[in-house]
Amino acid sequence: MAIVTKVLGEFNGGLVRFEYDYDNNDLRVRAFRCVNNSTEAAYGQITRTSDGASHDLRFAPGTTQINIPTAPNQRVQLTLRPDGKLDGAELHLAWPYP
Amino acid sequence: MAYAFRAATSQGNASGGALTVTKPTGTVDDDLIVVVAYLESDTNTWASVGAGFTEDTGANIDNTGAFDMRVWWKKASGEPASWTWTPTTNNWRTVVCCSFSGTLGTAGGRVDVRATGQADGATTFSCPTVTTTVDNDLLCAYVGNFGGGAYGYTSGPANTERIDFGGLTLYSLDDAGAAGVEAATVLNAGTQDYAGGQIAFKLDTGGGGGAATQVGWVGAGWW
């Protein structure tokens, strides 16, 4: 078992980075993070495609790491495709953000 | 005044249909808005896109058998908070949107030049060389890869990553300086199937066409 980190998206040469960790044994997603080393806020929204339920957060500037909640009622039922892409949720990212 | 990056958004990176593309923060009238879309497969098309956007068909490029890449642009004017991009057939789609301050050129075509290419099973992708015809273009390099991997920068003029999302990226050089050859921008996302290109947008230099005229009062007449 190993935890693998994959970048979902980044802005401004990686100064703002959205990423997730998954276990390459059971393929469960363990955590989402936003690493915001910029002087502007960032925004992330994830929407479950099956029912439209969404969860969003604003990430303050200068934040080095924030774990996005992964409580049962906030799970988004992602699927890992054979080509390595996560499916099952729409993602919307923005930077800079008010 | 040269172009200057203002903000970026990304959306999708999943299988589905109509996609809401959010206007980048702080976008104001006269900004240049650039939208780049990745759509699977290479035979799929976009049934409808945001109102008023112009597709630069010369910037379209497919990775044969895998996905389609397209570029649209618009001079902002009373823009809504978002627009909608709808594929003809639901499939994997990813869209990125960037806005740039500066005024988009008004005469002789707003896209100066573009060049595209594709590669299969390559470790890097070279967005082809272009030769700009006017000074101070905004140069954008855009690339999609099938595996969705994030990019690193290898070399080339468009050296600032604006957005990298789900295997779709846009790098820019906001002021390309004097007209002339802009070398290839080379990006890497591991061994992938790639498609993309470089596209240059003209800056409005304020001229309305024709030579400048002078009017002055000399003696008893106008000259």
Contact with chain A for residue B27, Cβ under 8 A: no
pLDDT band at B214 (very low <50, low <70, confident <90, very high): very low
Rounded to whole angstroms, how far apart are CA atoms A14 and A38? 9
Greatest extent of chain A over all pairs of C-alpha atoms, in Å: 40
- A93: domain range? 3-97
- pLDDT tens digits, B49-103: 999 999 999 999 999 999 999 999 999 999 999 999 999 999 999 999 999 998 8
> CB contacts < 8 Å between A and B, how many?
88
Rounded to whole angstroms, how far apart are CA atoms B159 and A4? 28
Residue boundaries of the structural domains of chain B: 4-205
The token pair that represents B105 in the structure block? 């050129």
Do residues A53 and A71 make contact, with C-beta atoms less than 8 angstroms apart? Answer: no
Residue A28 has pLDDT above 80, yes or no: no
Do residues A91 and B166 make contact, with C-beta atoms less than 8 angstroms apart? Answer: yes
Cross-chain residue pair B148–A92, CB shorter than 8 Å = no
Give the rounded distance of the alpha carbon of B74 from its chain centre: 10
Task: List CB contacts (< 8 A) between A86 and chain B.
Answer: 13-14
Q: Tally the domains of chain A.
A: 1
pTM of the model: 0.90
Backbone angles phi, psi at A72, to 5 degrees: -50, -40
- pLDDT tens digits, A60-80: 998 876 666 666 666 666 777
CATH of residue A10: 2.60.40
Q: Quick check: helix, strand or coil at residue A14?
A: helix
Closest of B130, B113, B135 to residue B207, by C-alpha: B135
If you measure CA to CA, which chain B residue comes closest to A93?
Answer: B10
Rounded to whole angstroms, how far apart are CA atoms B202 and B134? 7
